Structure 1
Amino acid sequence: MRPLIIMAAALLAAVGGGILGSTAAAAAPFPVTTDVIAAQAAGYLRPATTSPPGANLDHCTDRHGRDPVILLHGTASNQLSAWAYLAPSLANAGFCVFSLTYGQTPWSANIGALADKSQSTREAGSFIDAVRARTGATKVDLVGHSQGGAIAQLVTQVPGKADQIATIVDVSAPNRGYANSPWAPEAAPQPAGQGDNGPLHQGIRYVNLATTHDEIVFPLANALMDPAPHVTNIVVESICPHSVIGHLGMIYSPTVSALVQGALDPRRPVPVPCGADYPA
């Protein structure tokens, strides 16, 4: 049975076939990379500590008083290769954006998210502490792509951390079904309302963005969560029926970028464009 797709009213109101406002784009101070291959190559060649444009800025103040946003990249990636599009897009929209490369190993050079998830979870938790201390914020929002979404949820299982997180936006993240992956150990079935990354928390808003063309997280239900008042599942093709966007393309997509902005700030939804996206 096709999974129930819950569309938030505020996000639905923002859906359209146009493009993002040209005035905002013209005034954007941070360069946005749209070339997926070039961004990946540049990111892998730079130190893992290299921030994407618009991220980890000193003295950042959100002009709307929103929570700081922490970006968590996916497997075999780093902060620059993953967030050359979304970090500057969010920064240009006025968000205070922070990112890190987590989960490095002695043999992984500039690449992260290859260590044991327990190590990655500890590193993400420490980074949340650092961002809160740096900004004075009580809570942060997390945006996780692929494994980054799993780490975002695993952090909430650490005692005290759930109270420090307001919203988690998962982008093509595995919420269940790790057993479908040939490189992952078999996972036991989870009870209703709980995925492979532990139970959800009533005080956190969960927004899951998924694509029917995901070649890493599949079937589609694995990227979604069971319906609940604090859970929103959005499938790109339910908004842009002709989209063929793939797993990696999700974090370089104007469509997804607009949906992320709407998820982080439902009071100020932006137009959601439909167009050509990187298919893999």
Structure 2
Amino acid sequence: MPDGVNNWACKPAPDQNPVVLIHGTFSTTMYSYGALGPSLANESLCVYAMDFGEAKAGDWFKGVGPVDESAQRIADFVISVKTATGRDKVTLVGHSQGGLIGFYYLKMLAGAKHVDRFVALAPSVNGTSIAKTPDRKLVEYCLACADQHPKSALMQRLQEGPITVPGVQYSIVVTKNDLVVLPIENQFVREPGVQNIYIQDLFPDKKVSHSGMLYDRESLGLITRLVKGEPVQPGAQQVQAN
């Protein structure tokens, strides 16, 4: 785990809840949050994460298992974090598939009663066009890749009715240079109350990639403010819900 992550003796400040990080496909907590985890901990936040979704024990690559199964593991982990910290709610942060898992957990697994704020980073919430098939049975290794096809059964279940649920503050951060979750604009959820932000609306010359946003100083600063519930930089042009 990155420095500062999974300090089970940490006590959240009165105005902050513990933070749970959810990594993406073919990733780990260290790979996805090697910078953000310590950055949040340095802000005196209690930060927690787990690696999930390995095809078999000992695999370096994580996040390849079925999205619904990974979401259930996150649901169980959130309960552990709440128990350890004595708090009623957590703040979720999910990158790429981790963003999809967050949306799925909140809506399909009644996660909203455990979460106050969700910051989704380049989420595959509407799938990605680079996924080859929506059929898990045609995939030998990365079942999560099939789940992230725009026409997968899991995606269809998630998109029946509104994706968001009441009681959660949603923010989505996207880079215009993404080459993984495509089309890029499909990373946004255009529903009332969702704060959709392009990094380039705050930093016009920024050319961070899908994963590069996790290691860029200004992007990390933006993400940190959202995680803490602080307003973003004044003057940012945000995509409004339809």
Displacement of 1:108 after TM fit? 6.3
Count how many residue pairs are aligned between Structure 1 and Structure 2.
Answer: 217
In 2, Cα distance between equivalents of 1:59 and 1:235: 36
Say if 2:158 is the partner of 1:209: no
Match of 1:54 in 2: 4
Matched residues in 2 for 1:119 and 1:70: separation? Answer: 17
177, 182, 185: which one aligns with 1:221 = 185
Aligned to 1:233: 196
Aligned to 2:81: 131
1:105 corresponds to 2:55: yes
Give me the TM-score of the superposition, normalised by structure 1.
0.71
Which residue identity lines up with residue 237 of structure 1 in the other structure?
Q
Q: Which has the larger radius of gyration?
A: 1
Consecutive unaligned residues of structure 1, counting only runs of 5 or more, are 1-50, 273-280
> In the alignment, which residue of structure 2 is the partner of 1:41?
none
Residues of 1 paired with 2:218 and 2:14: CA distance?
A: 22
Q: Does 1:200 align with 2:200?
A: no
- CA separation of 1:271 and 1:233: change in aligned 2, threshold 3 A: closer
- What SS class does the counterpart of residue 183 from structure 1 fall into? coil
Task: In structure 2, give the amino acid aligned to 1:171.
Answer: L
Q: Give the drift of 1:249.
A: 0.3
Say which structure, 1 or 2, has more relative contact order (CA 8 Å, 6+ apart).
Answer: 1
Is the alpha carbon distance of 1:108 and 1:169 closer, same or farther for their aligned partners in structure 2, counting shifts above 3 Å? same
CA distance in 1, matches of 2:133, 2:75: 23
Partner of 1:262: 225
CA RMSD of aligned residues (A): 2.5
Partner in structure 2 of residue 182 of structure 1: 131
Counterpart of 1:253 in structure 2 is: 216
Q: Would the aligned equivalents of 2:123 and 2:187 in 1 still touch at CA under 8 Å?
A: yes
Q: Deviation of residue 244 (structure 1)?
A: 0.8
Q: TM-score, normalised by structure 2?
A: 0.81
Q: Which amino acid aligns with 2:213?
A: M
Q: Is the 8 A contact 2:164 2:191 kept in 1?
A: no
Question: Once the 2 structures are TM-superposed, how far is the Cα of residue 122 of structure 1 from its aligned partner?
Answer: 1.2
Single out whichever of 121-130 and 154-163 deviates more from structure 2.
Answer: 154-163
Moved over 4 A (4+): 188-191, 194-198, 269-272
Matched residue type, 1:143 = V
Measure how far apart 1:197 and its partner are.
10
Aligned counterparts of 2:9 and 2:178: Cα–Cα separation in 1 = 38
- The counterpart of 1:67, out of the listed 17, 22, 27, is 17
> 2:118: which partner in 1?
168
1:155 corresponds to: 105
- Indicate the residue corresponding to 1:82 in structure 2: 32
Tell me if the contact between 2:12 and 2:85 (Cα under 8 Å) persists in the aligned partners: no
For residue 130 of structure 1, give the secondary structure of its aligned residue in structure 2: helix
Tell whether the 8 Å contact from 2:24 to 2:98 is kept in structure 1 after alignment.
yes
Letter in 2 for 1:181: I
Identity of aligned residues (%): 27
1:192-243, CA deviations, whole angstroms, 9 ceiling, x for partnerless residues? xx75897210111110000110000122211111041x21011011111111
TM superposition shift of 1:64: 4.6
